[in-house]
Amino acid sequence: MEKSGADHEVLSLYIESFNRMFAQSSPQVMRDAAEAVKLFLTRKVVDHFAYEERHIFPALLQANPGEGVRNRVSEIQAEHKLLLKEAKRLDKILAQEELAYDRAGFLRKAMLDFLHHLEKHASRENALFPSLM
């Protein structure tokens, strides 16, 4: 699967879980959706970033791609750090024993902010790879 297709799939999974979480007032549905988002954060976001950091970026930089690409890789790596902090914060919110409905607005905003940052990050990554062709 091409990179942009993989990013689209990852973002779609997140949006699906987000919609499930806030579409109903059932505490069980909300808890199940929260678990799905937590798995998403661990298995998709954290693992994806780790793979890029361990394999993609070192190989790319070893190929001596030029200053512009090196700068973009550095920017993407800095974004990884910020997104991982946001993911950790979101994971803590989702791990609360009771996801209080009076805090649903706060959770919704945190999740939307993370989605927005993740979408912008995916666009930057997708712009990097075609520039190497």
DSSP helix/strand/coil, 21: helix
Splitting the chain (133 residues) into consecutive groups of 10 residues, what average pLDDT does each group show?
60 78 73 82 87 92 88 94 92 73 72 89 83 55
Q: pTM of the full predicted structure?
A: 0.79
Residue 83 sits in a domain of what CATH number? 1.20.120
Give residue 74's domain range: 3-132
As to burial, measured by CB atoms within 10 angstroms (0-12 exposed, 13-18 middle, 19+ buried), residue 29 is middle
- Euclidean distance between CA atoms 6 and 45, whole angstroms: 12
Per the structure, how many domains does the chain have?
Answer: 1
Instruction: Give pairs for 106-110: CB < 8 Å, separation 24+.
Output: 107/21, 108/22
